[in-house]
Amino acid sequence: MANRKELHTRLDYYNDLIQATILRYQNAVTGLIAQKAQHAWVRDNVYAILAVWGLALAHRKFADTDEQRAKCYELEQRVVKLMRGILMCLMRQIDKVEKFKKTQSVDDALHAKYNAENGSIAAGDKEWGHLQIDATSLFVLALAQMTASGLKIIFTLDEVDFVQNLVFYIGNAYRIRDYGIWERGDKTNHGFPELNASSIGMAKAALEAISALDLFGSHGGPASVIHVLPDQIKQCEVVLQSMLPRESSSKEIGAATLSVISFPAFALADEELVRTTRNEIITKLQGRYGCRRFLRDGYMTVREDHSRLHYEPAELKAFENIECEWPLFFTYLIIDGVFRDDLGQVDDYNGLLANVLVYDDNGNKLIPELYYVEGDKVELEYQNPHSQTRVPGSHVPHIWGQSLYVLSCLLCEGLITPGEIDPLNRRHAVLPNPELVVQVALLAEDDNVREELSNEGIEADTPSSLMHIEVFPARMLALAYQHLGRNSKLGLSGRPLQDTGLIATSLFYRIFDSVVAFTPQFLDYKQFYLCLDNELLVDDIETDIGTLQAHWRLMGRPTITLPITAAMLSIDTGSDRPWILKLITKMQLGYINGVRVRLGKLNDFLSTSCVKSLDFLETHSSDSLQDAPQKNPSKFFQILASLSPDSEIDASLDTFVPPKVPGSGVVTPERNLSIPTIVRHSPSGEKVQRMHDVGGPNLQKRYRSWSLLAKATPSLPQDSDAGVNELLLKLENEISSQELAITLNSLLDKRGANFMVDLPNRLVTTVGDLIDDLYKQVCDFKMWSLVRHTAGMLGKRVENLAESVTDIIVHQKLLTVGYPPAIREETITGPLPPDELKKIISTACGDDIRASIITQEVLVYLAMFMRTEPKLFKEMLRIRVGLIMEVMATEVANALECTGDEASEYFVNMSPFEMKHLLHQILSGREFEVAGAVDEEATVLSIPRKQSIRNKSVSILPLDQKASLYPESKYTTGFKEASRRKLSDLPSRLLSTNSTDSDSHYGCDKPGQWMRRRRIDGALNRVPENFYQYIWRVLEKCHGISIGGYILPQYPIIQEMTPNELKFAICVETALNRIPHPEFRQLIVEALMVLGKVVELEPIQTLGGIIDMNYVVHQANELFLQDQTSIDEFDYPVQELKGAEDICCDFYDSAPAGRFGTITYLSKVIVRRLDCQNTTECAIS
């Protein structure tokens, strides 16, 4: 500004503008703002008051006189009154907050709008789409920023507790389908909520902003501080990054995400993703008058039927190119330019905005809600977008847009700075973080373990040797947080009892004068067998270190408190050293998978770690602590004991009890099952006892067909014909563990788990107890096949099953369990309770107990990879767990050159780590081989081949060369060069290649390579890049596409959806999943890609009626056979080489490109079918 007087003149101008356009609508009693029908929207109110807050900040800085200071005070109180008005409306619905924390149901959501006159509800629970996570999150974010700027909005501790519960309300935003910023949910406005990136991003920003904030400002204390678990922020971040630039499943892009990538949320730390999202919005949604909210938005267009709220799917295309344009988004882009110091962007959008402002009778500049195309110009605008003059809608001013316009002006003129409206510095989220060092403190179970570690040159504490630091299992931290926000006066129960997560357990906590540390979540030993695999345990630790490196945003370094138990120091078969010692050796070198790691003791790490407070426990425990029983000298334990039932404390501490050392289990004589043993040798040469698992009769090796295994996990046979007495008689004799499992399984089916069994010389027991005994013993000896079978008989469930399924689904993946065909597959569409998930899995797997258990295992592993390596699932929309399991078993069969049944037994006997590693190799497309060594003792004892397979030591060995499962071609980057893989037991014809080196660079491919690759890609439902966009182009020019007899119709798909819309991709996947054979599915995918390329290259107006893709593939196969027959010196064995869908196995095993490549023949058929020019065929092949 030139001088102080001119500056005050500008402030007075904006004060008059705000009074005339915003504050005139503020209710004098409630403080809420409403323009029409006295409906005050939470979101609109918060945005409306931002300009008032900004102007108050400017007055605070430049006030010279008492009059100016008084004006500043009034503006600040206007802001406080509105924010408290919203707070009071929300607090009237405390019962909904309390219910929603547990149910996350649409019916229990806080209302999105209220009556501005008295704060009552403005619409019933079912009369409006009230579930709008972004609105509640925006209020929390604004509350945090305004409090940090010095405003006093929260007055009492009761209000603090309510805000803390609002944090719980929005904490699971990453998994909550809501109606979004436009209150519609799905863009057809039929009332279907969906995951919205704008809601998740705003929730993440709110959680970060309010975390550790004292709501009383400089006058507060520990009781007025808000606590947020960092793992909830991490989950929101991961899902948000997986969604952007897409807004939701029905909106391929949304202008609302501008509020997420820039002011006010600044929710993304990935600068490249921010840039990509901004550019997508500008490219696809920007017009001369503003930005469209999303593609095919019918709101307020002349073609919209105002007599109904919803749209018919087929009418959405009528809104294409004539969507209303909102000047509001120009203000977002101006503010974004100011924050990024991009003066060019600021000038550009200020110029655009100046052309769309309207003026009232007093000359005030107003922002209209939108600009629309008049009826007589609709057709012209549809034919030539952005060519017609638009007119403003009747809603002027749009208070939300008006407020951001004033705020942008204050920023552009330098009256306020970005730091003043962002006192929490959220704008710096994109700055790179310094290199992280993960600290690992080893805690020996007892002195014996510490001595054993010391012999290896490793220093470790024991719980008794720690000074001033106490260590507890992670579940105790969850129990402590259960008391956060609890308020009996308001009827608030606090945080639901849920896992806290990895980041939360990597901190130190202070309470009174004590310091508490917690062990990682996955070390809470419970009832499932995954914790028994030390190699998997080590892999989980390495994964967690990588996760901390990717998501740590706190001050200080993360510290993992790693307890070392005697069980961890046992040597597994096939290893020369305990896995945990191998990991510690790597840590001593300073790096784990590229992440810096420092080993040390807890006391040494205290000064460099992140330390948080649990002082909220003091408030709740002060009254009852005196009467608490002194079970433990720990202050933390005493406080929890005074607040929680003994049963909860005991259950939490039980999770800290490590599993037994293999072979050390003691079974009482009364229930001794007398399982025979054989002597086997450990790697150290010492003799150890192992259970002898006797197999059935010898299996004859037979020809393994090309089709996938019918089942990846055949269950143990049942003695269905044996009577109960005969089964009981078997129990009295010494039988093998497998026979015992079969016998107990039959008894379980016939009489149930509570059936009493009275055996000689033993106490009376039940079938369930006997199965439990067997489970513990086979766990001790790590006989994984029987471990899985007995776990299934006991109905065990992975503890984090529900969380794993949720992690997969919120990454916009479709999930099915069970085996194809589709009648046996069950689709999981959303987060479900764990028991319901277990029931769905059991139903899908039928009588196959082990398949049900392995399905749970695979889901856990898939969720791990989804969190840590989301790129593995690129171009995979649907995850079919059953098919993936079959491919895993088939890969084992190919690598070991054994029959399908043998490979299935091998597969179910793999350790959890081996199974996880095999899954990772298949997903990543890396070279690998399965190495197995038959135990010598087993051979001496003449154990049948099936038994030998079961006793093999499995090792998944990655090879040096890395590769993808995408074949490369000229028409798409989605097909990439593949690696060479070992494949055995092939038809003899496939032992020779069917193309020469001169044909293409694929001439050196190994036999069976392309068959295998197509099979894996088909099972993984992987498609080439831009595949769905190619399908869209084809559908635009034909009546439909037939895939396996299923018609993908042009109408109403093209009329309702857009090319990049997730819903469209789901429709295509639905058609493709009707194909039962994965290799045939991939040929259909290749054919569709060729067809899409033809449409792109050729000026074809129409493709006619229904295009039958099965016919195209079969015709291509016929051309291939003709060529093979004509050049083959011998009779070509057509019948011998018939594969799935009667397609030649040689054709399945052909590379995409080259003289005999699949694309060559597919393009010939398609070009002839469409009567195209010959140049097209050359370009494709």
Each residue's pLDDT tens digit, 13-58: 999 999 999 999 999 999 999 988 889 999 999 999 999 999 999 9
Q: Which residues does residue 562 pair with via DSSP β-bridges, in sequence order?
A: 442
Exposed, middle or buried, 58 (CB in 10 Å: 0-12/13-18/19+)? Answer: buried
Q: Residue 647's pLDDT band (boundaries 50, 70, 90)?
A: low
| Of 11-20, 124-133, 504-513, 517-526, minimum mean pLDDT range | 517-526
At residue 644, what are phi and psi to the nearest 5 degrees?
-115, 150
Element (H, E) at 437: strand 437-444
Number of Cβ within 10 Å of residue 1132's Cβ equals: 19
Q: Which residue has the tokens 């030993």?
A: 525
Closest CA to 392 of 361, 370, 366, 359: 370
Angle between helices 1078-1097 and 1062-1072 (to 10 degrees): 130
Give me the sign of the Cα torsion angle 219, 220, 226, 230. Answer: positive
pLDDT of residue 653: 54
In order of 227, 434, 597, the CA distances from 559 in angstroms are 20, 17, 10
Mean pLDDT score, 566-583: 87
Specify the 3-state DSSP secondary structure of 120: coil
| Of 363-377, 661-675, 915-929, minimum mean pLDDT range | 661-675
Q: Which residue has the tokens 């808000």?
A: 226
Residue 138 predicted with pLDDT over 60: yes
Residue 699 predicted with pLDDT over 50: no
Residue 891 predicted with pLDDT over 90: no
Count of positions (residues) in the chain: 1181
Residues with Cβ within 8 Å of 1064's Cβ and at least 6 positions away in sequence, in order, are 1028, 1032, 1053, 1057, 1058
Distance CA 45, CA 443 (A): 53
At residue 392, what are phi and psi to the nearest 5 degrees?
-70, 150
Q: pLDDT above 90 covers what percent of the chain?
A: 54
Mean pLDDT score, 118-130: 92
Q: Residue 521's pLDDT band (boundaries 50, 70, 90)?
A: confident
Mean pLDDT score, 776-794: 89
Q: Number of H helices and number of E strands within the chain?
A: 44, 28
| Of 288-292, 699-703, 832-836, minimum mean pLDDT range | 699-703
Closest CA to 146 of 230, 34, 56: 56
Structure tokens at 204: 């993440």
Q: Which residue has the tokens 């089916």?
A: 749
pLDDT of residue 401: 97
For residue 1091, which amino acid is it?
L
| β-pairing verdict for 826-828 and 878-880 | unpaired
- Quick: pLDDT tens for 144-186: 999 999 999 999 999 999 999 999 999 999 999 999 999 989 9
Structure tokens at 270: 């990935």
Q: Residue 700's pLDDT band (boundaries 50, 70, 90)?
A: very low
Distance CA 743, CA 755 (A): 13
Q: What is the DSSP letter of 1138?
A: B
Torsion of CA 397, 400, 405, 411, to 10 degrees: 150
In order of 715, 1014, 1015, the CA distances from 1136 in angstroms are 32, 20, 20
Q: pLDDT above 70 covers what percent of the chain?
A: 82
When comparing pLDDT for 75 and 771, which is higher?
75
Mean pLDDT score, 620-638: 57
Residue 227 predicted with pLDDT over 60: yes
**What is the per-residue DSSP string for 927-985?**
-EEEEEE--HHHHHTT--HHHHHHH-EEEEEE-S----SPPP-SS-TTS-PPPP----S
Element (H, E) at 876: none
What is the chain's mean pLDDT, rounded?
Answer: 83
pLDDT of residue 947: 37
Mean pLDDT score, 1090-1104: 85
CB 244 within 8 A of CB 273: yes
Closest CA to 396 of 351, 366, 365, 420: 366
Mean pLDDT score, 113-117: 96
Q: Residue 944's pLDDT band (boundaries 50, 70, 90)?
A: very low
At residue 994, what are phi and psi to the nearest 5 degrees?
-110, 20
